[in-house]
Amino acid sequence: MADLGLIALVIAFVVALVGIGMNLAGAWLKRPALVVAGRNALYVVGGFVALASLALVLSLVSRDYSLTYVANQVSNTQSLFYNISSFWGGQAGSLLFWTLVLAGFSVAVTLAQWKRQPVLRPYVTAVLLGMLLFFLSVVIFVANPFSRLWLMPDGSMPSALFAPAGAVPAQLTDGSGLNPILQNYWMVIHPVMLYLGWIGLTVPFAFAVAALATRELGNDWVRTIRRWTLVPWMFLTAGILMGSQWAYVELGWGGYWAWDPVENASFLPWLTATAFLHSIMIQERRGMLKVWNMALIFLTFQLTIVGTFITRSGIIESVHAFAQSDIGPFFLTFIVTTMFGFLALLGWRLPDLRSPNHLDSMVSRESAFLFNNLILVGIAVATLFGTLYPIISDALSQILPIEHMSFAAPWFNKVTGPLFVLLIGLMGSAPLLGWRRSSKETLVKNFTFPLLFGLAIGAVGFWLGGQKLYPTISYAVAGFVVGGILQEFYRGAKVRRASKGENWLVALSQLLRRNQRRYGGYIVHLGVVMIMIAIVGVNVYQSEGQANLAQGETIQVENYVLTFNGLTQSATPSYDSVEASLQVTRNDRSAGTVTPAMHFYRTVAGRDQPTNEIAIRMGLAEDLYVVLAGWEGTGQTASFKVYVNPMMSWMWIGGVVMLLGTLAAVWPHQKETERVLAPAPAARGAQPA
């Protein structure tokens, strides 16, 4: 099976190289047959990458310990579920999974867009094949999941594709298994969502390169890639939220986001992709910001590669990161090459990207979107600086007398927190402003209710939240945005009721169905506000306590009293468990029992690896979060950390709302679907929305 996987990768590599040449030759020589052959080469590459992936999955499921990757990721006691997820749990497998997802996106966009924009398609296909060629080269030559373990005469076991001199195949009976901290259902699906987000953002980059290469720089290609940006953005959003949920339920520190370098690696392209999704509206409507949008597309793509470099090269320390490896030089070379190549192409086409229109007024929707973009990019720059500064300081320390320095979560919060509040305020303002310019009458009409609603919410927050300034401002801004969203839905439904005679529920549903992009965006904004409320609640109002308790003793945090009942032990094939039982009362009323635990995973080396199993009682107002930190002797005394996290559940609710709003915005409208399926006049062709 391993030999089949290796052969499939080599064939895919060769076909990808040939396919790039066919597409470029077909475009330059105007030979449609070569372009079709290049397209078919992409399909062949996708098929062989899928075959190699299947070979690796079968090797993991069958526990083929002759493969280094399987021996490091699978064990006899590990469940089938985690054996399959080991495909993307380690360095080499995750890179092959990346290649598989990239092949899937490439095939999907080719099937969907082949009959449209014939001038762009050979260049789009060539760029996608070029990306596949790069990742195939990394998988084959640097991080090959089909490398085998060999037993040398001196007893050592090196990893190599082919037998070293004097070596025989190693005969292992068990493997190391996944890192216990990764054996969590959120960490199984969280990486998949991130990959679907990161890798999907290659598609708009490929279209941008094709548009620059062909000088097809109108708005048609922008309309095409809106969905091909929005869908990966949705997956990336889901992945970030799932990663936050994993950190919340698994790491046991009471929080959800630590500004860890690997967390930041997923957040950076999300910021720039969000900026792009807003700024393309200006290009579609006014033909402006063409250079800016090109730069955002490239920056988003580049940040996905930089994120991969950060997480897999071993140059930073992180609970999420992979070990030190040899792939760093490959990625660094690719980053530099693509950066200079794209900038040269962009500079070449700058005269063609000039816009005939200009910003007419600072009080307009265009200006709000522009400031929105500048803040998003500013947050991205600050985050990137804080993430990379430890690497920079290490390099400078070699030539200058400076100490190693890194930035922790408080620095990120202080720098980005005010920017996020301002950003959300602009998010609520933009839909209330008119295109080109807004009159005083328009401003009064559109802003009066949202501002009053925001002030009312801010006053309530000030009264309930201990008269603190920052959360009061934050809740006032949140109320302003919600007020604007409610006003937009109310006005739209009111018009439908007057014109169609529909009841409120039908009018609202029809409003969303017929204006999915606009009102789906409002729903996304509502989800963002919910997440903002949760962030302010837990960061400002979190309460915590810690105590060593004997059986029968209590700890009180806020209005919760927890009484320690004792410890129990149990065992499974994979780990031993120690579980504590605590009786909970809230406001002097019984609130049941919580059972935090620690699991000790057994490894091949015989060392027990502990993981925290947090006990969380979730509620709309607050979460009770209990960690078993340790115990003494036979468990008569145990140590606990207890957190009360206000409004935390609204983060996950807001995430779901964001995803639902994105689905509404991206889902094809019935009329649009009929237009795409209907035969189009040959002269115009079918253009996507």
Instruction: Determine, yes or no, domain membership for 116.
Output: yes
Evaluate if residue 660 carries a pLDDT over 80. Answer: yes
The whole-number pLDDT of residue 284 equals 84
The whole-number pLDDT of residue 400 equals 66
Evaluate if residue 515 carries a pLDDT over 70. Answer: yes
The whole-number pLDDT of residue 670 equals 52
Give 319 or 446, the one with higher predicted confidence: 446
Give 527 or 322, the one with higher predicted confidence: 527
Instruction: Determine, yes or no, domain membership for 599.
Output: yes
Task: Average the pLDDT over 435-445 and give the result.
Answer: 88
Evaluate if residue 185 carries a pLDDT over 90. Answer: no
The pair of three-digit structure tokens given for residue 437, joined into one six-digit string:
């310019």
The whole-number pLDDT of residue 682 equals 38
Last residue of a domain, one of 150, 166, 181: 150
Evaluate if residue 684 carries a pLDDT over 60. Answer: no
Evaluate if residue 672 carries a pLDDT over 60. Answer: no
At 628, the pLDDT band (50, 70, 90 cuts) reads very high
Evaluate if residue 313 carries a pLDDT over 80. Answer: no
Query: Minimum mean pLDDT among 96-105, 283-292, 392-401, 441-450: which range?
Result: 392-401
- State pLDDT tens for residues 137-177: 999 998 899 999 888 888 788 888 888 888 888 888 888 88
Evaluate if residue 677 carries a pLDDT over 80. Answer: no
Evaluate if residue 685 carries a pLDDT over 70. Answer: no
Instruction: Tell me the C-alpha distance between 500 and 507, whole Å.
Output: 8
Instruction: Tell me the C-alpha distance between 69 and 477, whole Å.
Output: 50
At 439, the pLDDT band (50, 70, 90 cuts) reads confident
Task: Average the pLDDT over 219-235 and give the result.
Answer: 88
DSSP one-letter string for 138-194: HHHHTS-TT-EEEE-TTS---EESSPPTT-EE---S----S-GGG-SHHHHHHHHHH
Instruction: Determine, yes or no, domain membership for 443.
Output: no
Instruction: Tell me the C-alpha distance between 240 and 249, whole Å.
Output: 14
Instruction: Determine, yes or no, domain membership for 585.
Output: yes
Give 400 or 87, the one with higher predicted confidence: 87
Provide the mean pLDDT of the chain.
87
Task: Average the pLDDT over 580-594 and give the result.
Answer: 93
Query: Minimum mean pLDDT among 162-176, 469-483, 595-609: which range?
Result: 595-609
The whole-number pLDDT of residue 689 equals 31
Name the percent of the chain lying above pLDDT 90: 55
Here the CATH number for the domain that contains residue 591 is 2.60.98
Residue pair 555/628 in contact by the 8 Å Cβ criterion: no
Instruction: Determine, yes or no, domain membership for 625.
Output: yes
Burial class (CB in 10 A: 0-12, 13-18, 19+), 684: exposed
Residue pair 363/437 in contact by the 8 Å Cβ criterion: yes
Instruction: Determine, yes or no, domain membership for 159.
Output: no
The whole-number pLDDT of residue 402 equals 65
Give the dihedral sign, CA 490/496/498/502.
Answer: negative
Evaluate if residue 48 carries a pLDDT over 90. Answer: yes
Residue pair 669/516 in contact by the 8 Å Cβ criterion: yes
Instruction: Determine, yes or no, domain membership for 630.
Output: yes
Last residue of a domain, one of 86, 116, 150: 150
Query: Minimum mean pLDDT among 78-87, 94-103, 343-352, 612-621: which range?
Result: 78-87
Evaluate if residue 434 carries a pLDDT over 90. Answer: no
The whole-number pLDDT of residue 321 equals 45
At 35, the pLDDT band (50, 70, 90 cuts) reads very high
- Say if strands 159-160 and 148-151 run parallel, antiparallel, or are unpaired: antiparallel
The whole-number pLDDT of residue 674 equals 40
* 541: nearest Cα among 552, 557, 521, 525: 557
At 5, the pLDDT band (50, 70, 90 cuts) reads very high
Task: Average the pLDDT over 55-66 and give the result.
Answer: 92
Instruction: Tell me the C-alpha distance between 549 and 631, whole Å.
Output: 9
* 551: nearest Cα among 644, 643, 640: 640
Q: What are phi and psi of 599, to 5 degrees?
A: -110, 135
Task: Average the pLDDT over 401-411 and give the result.
Answer: 75
Instruction: Determine, yes or no, domain membership for 43.
Output: yes
Last residue of a domain, one of 93, 122, 150: 150
The whole-number pLDDT of residue 605 equals 52
The whole-number pLDDT of residue 676 equals 40
Evaluate if residue 364 carries a pLDDT over 60. Answer: yes
Evaluate if residue 609 carries a pLDDT over 80. Answer: no
As a residue count, the chain comes to 689
Query: Minimum mean pLDDT among 95-99, 145-149, 512-516: which range?
Result: 512-516
Cβ-Cβ contacts under 8 Å for 341 (sequence gap 6 or more): none
Expressed as residue numbers, the domain containing 639 is: 541-649
Q: Say how many domains are in the chain.
A: 2
